[in-house]
């Protein structure tokens, strides 16, 4: 399963790290504006990017881990790429 996490803050970072450590059946990618804060994830085999859409099309599921005031903007940006995908918001 391919999972893309939008929002690599504390929660997104913790979820990505936990999933990556549980097994190789998941391919995880994370997007965040400041990717320098995500460099530690690359050691775990997680792809990181500043672009919310870069890994989105290939993902089976999308986990949205942004603050409530950012949700509408993110939802509008990703809406055209979400058909047939599981979407989870924290």
pLDDT digits (tens, 9 = 90+) for 6-53: 999 999 999 999 998 887 788 999 999 998 988 889 998 899 999 999
Q: Give the largest CA-CA distance in the chain.
A: 33
Selection from 35, 39, 33, 31 nearest residue 55 by Cα: 31
Per-residue pLDDT at 39: 87
Per-residue pLDDT at 68: 95
């Amino acid at each position: 399963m391919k999972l893309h996490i939008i929002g690599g803050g504390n929660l997104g970072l913790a979820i990505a790290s936990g999933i990556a450590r549980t097994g190789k059946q998941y391919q995880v990618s994370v997007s965040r504006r400041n990717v320098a804060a995500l460099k530690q994830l690359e050691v775990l085999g997680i792809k990181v990017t500043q672009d919310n859409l870069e890994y989105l099309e290939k993902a089976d599921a999308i986990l949205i881990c942004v603050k409530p005031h950012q949700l509408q903007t993110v939802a509008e940006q990703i809406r055209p790429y979400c058909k047939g995908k599981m979407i989870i918001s924290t």
